[in-house]
A and B are shown apart, each in its own frame.
Chain A
Amino acid sequence: MTGLNPLTWCAWALAAIAAALVERSPYLQLLLLAILLTVWIAARHDRSIGYWRAVLALGLLPILFSLVFSRFGTHVLFRLPKDLPVIGGAWTLEAALYGASTGAALLLAMLVFAVAQSTLRTADLLAVLPRPLYRLGTLVALALALVPQALASLQAVSDTRRLRGLRSGWRTALGLLLPVLLTTLERALQYAESLDARGFGSQRRTRYRPSRWGLADGLVLLGATVTLAATILAPSGYDPYLQLAPTLPQTALIGLLVPLSFPAWLLAASRRHALDHV
């Protein structure tokens, strides 16, 4: 059994992101987390997510926002004097949970991206793009290539700044971000020039790697469709302001999300690697 067609992975990723953003019941989020981790373990090879810390921070941001701005809810964590402009008043558990729910959805979406990054090569994406979208495709390829680089150089910059004897903190964040931003922009420019120099976009492209479809693709597509349908038809919500404890979703809904894990099964059964297309 060979690996999966890149378009299959795209469809899977679509269904997975829809599920991640729409299903808000914490039970389903837990299940999705398990599914995505399982697929990630099955599909990744030597690429680890170096920027997981930044992603985690991104997931925690909504909690902060919700806590800071929402004064509603009955389970009070602590109170600030009422005369403070925005933040005065009760800080509630409901607000924290609301933010946590949103943050979890964001984290799951990022996990889907991580899996997609492991299994989709830029070459595959460029190969399926129609001609009018070539330049758009290069933007996507650029982002995929440069975001990890930018985050890596963020680490490098912070290292060397320590040695310049400069404090790190909010005030000096500019000194941290600016060189990274500028370096990334320069790299983006060079990337664009590289593309030009290699003739990208001059005419219709042909494909080096043939596009193969197999039984595995069909199964994954089926699973993804099932999950997508379930997500659209029966979204589950979670509103801590109405009810602190989440409702258990229906058995059927739980069951219909599980097909999202099909890639993990198929990869477990195959002898070849996720990226062996040819």
Chain B
Amino acid sequence: MPLITFERLTFRYPETEQPVIADFSATIDPGHVILVRGPSGSGKSTLLRCLNGLVPHSSGGHFSGRVVVDGLDTRTTPPRQLGAHVGFVFQHPDAQFVLEDVESELAFGLENVGLPRPLMRKRVEEVLDQVGIAGLRHRAIRTLSGGERQRVAIAATLVTHPSVLALDEPTSQLDPQAAEDVLHVLARLVGELGLTVVIAEHRVERIAPFVDRVFTLTAPGAPIADASPRVALGGGGARPPIVDLAVRAGWDPIPITLGEARRAAADLRATLGQAAMADRDSPRPSTAEVAGAAFSYNGTPALRDASLRLHGGEITVLMGRNGSGKTTLLKVLAGLLSPLRGHVTRQGTVAYVPQDADTLLYAPTVREEVKDHPGSMLPLGVADWLHRYPRDLSTGERQRVAIAAAAGRADVVLLDEPTRGLDPDAKRSLAAYLRVRADAGASILIATHDVEWAARAADRVALMSEGAIYAEGAPRTVLTDSLVFATQVNKLLGKGWLLPDEVPLPSPG
């Protein structure tokens, strides 16, 4: 007996011509984990919101077909009631909490369904243990880190014992460690409780190991493919680097996990030589430099003796765990903060694009946003959106507009976590744009957690911890043989190999 049924679901947002989901039918059995993947704007969120009734009740629009969850038809059941059956976790850790402290938040869903007090106490205690957040019980939510918040969000939905857990890109705003924690919790819940989980994610490599089926969306209105993980990932789209390598190498069956990949790659590892280090280009002129900078926020040190030098035409990636001081270093370089010690030198104009690009956009059209930099090279696609309202665009598109608006002409471009929430295509085009800017002479510094992207895009990588830079060099030097900062291919093959497309494969036959 399927838990969720989609019957010829077709949905179109109000005042649009194009349906986002067209004639989709599928069933989901209890205890299964479904991965929904696809580029930004392809309808992943919409599909998830069909599960708890936010589509169509909150969004409006034209809805035809049927979605039945746990025996309830979502057309006739409002989200308030579906909420007890479908737990929903949103993408942004800040946006989904109603109350101030953790315990109240957990109890909130229970109070709403009118459970008696003793039962509420019992459920709250249980979920604190299940999700492993017992220590956070009395904390104020705004003091929690992103990963802790998402775990609390999951717990808050679990208290009502829903049959389905729907998660809309829960780890995209988190750093890798926090993302690991959240997915770990999910894996445990699936294993122990037999929860049915429908999750939309870009970082497929983390999820792939415990997924039963994959829904692949390609564009709004296009047919949604429904296949097993191996088939879906092998077919293309967002997928872990090891699958890229596997497809190139022709391994069969396609490995989903690192363990499977190791077995399939045994021969390759034996015969593979060391990756060649790229020759260093002749040193470029330095365009910006921080030397020995120190900075504190209210007495808490954020930078301790941080030194970094940027060169023209070079893309430098700055990585480090949350709280290591990356954003502070960027702000010091940009001139937004003055260091207490040390000095900063800059040549030419400096532009800083913060994590939350929405704070930059305010004009009614994209054209207005970028008018300060006429004739500058626009990132891919921005030229097509000149007449559009910036806030109608998806996250990745807004990101690009923000970069064009703030950094269209700058000599030194500082980007703070630009890849958060971007789908692989957007990440690729961002890397391409930055490459063109760098070749035109700009110096680019990017703070990011995305190791795979850094391996591809960076000329140099700097690692930061506790306010100082402790490693710096070419990607192949820094990103290899590390547990935290190694790419998946590197974890698989070692020997300095970073990316799936650069590994030399033995010719067939």
Contact = CB atoms under 8 A, between A and B. Distances in A.
A271 interface: no
A203 B362 contact: no
Nearest to A198: B109
A157 B79 CA distance: 34
A163 B359 contact: no
Interface string B87-127: 01010101111111100100111111111110011001000
Given A164-B351, A205-B112, A205-B114, 4 more contacts: A179-B360, A194-B90, A197-B52, A202-B112
Contacts of B86: 197
A164 B406 contact: yes
Contacts of B340: none
A49 to B, nearest CB: 14
A74 B362 CA distance: 48
A191 B95 contact: yes
A121 B104 contact: yes
B406 A123 contact: no
B88 to A, nearest CB: 4
Interface of B: 52, 54, 57-58, 78-81, 83-84, 86, 88, 90, 92, 94-101, 104, 107-117, 120-121, 124, 140, 143, 156-157, 160, 334-336, 349-354, 356, 358-362, 372, 391, 405-406
A160 B406 contact: yes
A164 B360 contact: yes
Contact of B350 (A122, A159, A163, A199): A163
A165 B336 CA distance: 12
A76 interface: no
Contacts of A174: 362
B371 to A, nearest CB: 12
B83 A183 contact: no
Nearest to A127: B111
In the A-B complex, list the 6 residue pairs whose CB atoms are closest, starting with the nearest. Answer: A208-B107, A199-B83, A123-B104, A202-B80, A199-B112, A196-B79
Nearest to B52: A197
* Dominant SS among interface residues on chain A: helix
Contact of B99 (A46, A123, A157): A123
Contacts of A121: 99-101, 104
Interface in A151-180: 153, 156-157, 159-165, 174-175, 178-180
Contacts of B83: 196-199, 202
Given A153-B359, A156-B354, A199-B109, A187 B95 contact: yes
Interface string A186-207: 1100111111111111111111
A160 B360 contact: yes
B110 A208 contact: yes
Contact of B352 (A47, A163, A197, A202): A163
A248 interface: no
A199 B334 CA distance: 45
Contact of B113 (A153, A180, A191, A199): A199
